[in-house]
Structure 1
Amino acid sequence: MICTVYIVDDDPRILAATGDLLEDCGHKVVTFEDGREMLARLTAGERPDVLVSDIIMPHINGADLKDAALAIVPDLPILFMSAEIGNTDPRRLEGHMLLEKPFTCAALTDAVEGLFNAPRLHS
């Protein structure tokens, strides 16, 4: 099933590769190098089916991005991807899927499609 995926990652190579892979699977993809731009789109009323976000980023980290995004879209499914959790308290990521970098193409597509097809808590 095709869904709209917002991807946020400050590394342009990972952002492009992740976006290309999901587009090749037929999904509509919108990419952002800065979470603040993605939040502006949510505030303007846009609604992705799934958010895929890096955790360690400048300006706004993945945990803070999650909090801000869920304040706008409470039932937004979120997939975190990271090579390291870093200074982020893992409890702030609880309840959301985490995909460790590097990941396989199959792991990414399975995770996104699983989130898209999962029942929503606040529909």
Structure 2
Amino acid sequence: MVATVLVADDDPGVRYALKRLLDASGDYEVIEADGCEAALELAASQKPDVVVTEAAMPKMTAIEYIKALRWACPRAGIVALSAGGMHQSPEFATGLASTAGADEVLRKPARNEPLIEAIDRLLH
């Protein structure tokens, strides 16, 4: 069975790279969101199995955003990615994502193998 993965990042280059990686495996159906609002709408309507998302997106704090994702699709696994932000270190941003309820937290740029392993852990 093919798992649905929502990829959410405000950087189109990151979304493209993640979609290519996941599409190449053949194990996932990938849907994309370009920001937290679109991600929350898709999470609620599509009920993905896993959400792979930038933790620090514009318009919401990492804590608000991850908690809202958890509410929108409570059964989905959440992999939060972060390189930090304008005023945050990567460690601080990933700590916030973990505190907010992300199941897996990876620093950006996430290497392919650890990301796929994190997704697979959440699916099994």
Q: How far off its partner does 1:84 sit?
A: 2.2
One-letter identity of the residue aligned with 2:106 = L
CA shift, 1:90, in A, is 2.4
- Pairwise mapping of residues 20-31 of structure 1 onto structure 2 (< 5 A)? 20-26=20-26, 27-31=28-32
Please list every run of 5 or more consecutive structure 2 residues that lacks an aligned counterpart in the other structure: none
SS in 1 for 2:60: coil
| Structure 2 CA distance for partners of 1:101 and 1:111, relative to 1, 3 Å | same
Q: Distance in 2 between matches of 1:11 and 1:34?
A: 9
RMSD of the alignment, in Å? 2.1
Residue aligning to 2:109: 102
Structure ranking higher in helix proportion: 2
What amino acid is the match of 1:36? E
* Equivalent position SS for 2:18: helix
CA distance in 2, matches of 1:3, 1:102: 23
Moved over 3 A (4+): none
TM-score scaled to structure 2, two decimals?
0.80
Describe the shift of the 1:103–1:84 C-alpha distance in structure 2 as closer, same or farther (beyond 3 A).
Answer: same
Deviations 1:90-118 (CA, angstroms, capped at 9, x unpaired): 2552352111112221111111111111x
- The offset of 1:89, in angstroms, is 8.2
Alignment length (residue pairs): 116
What is the percent sequence identity of the aligned residues?
Answer: 27
**Per-residue deviation at 1:5?**
0.3
Trace 1:42-121 onto structure 2 (pairs within 5 A).
42-43=43-44, 45-84=45-84, 86=88, 88=93, 90-91=95-96, 93-94=98-99, 95=101, 96-117=103-124
Note the residue ranges of structure 1 that are not aligned, 5 or more in a row: 118-123
Which residue identity does 1:66 align to in structure 2?
I
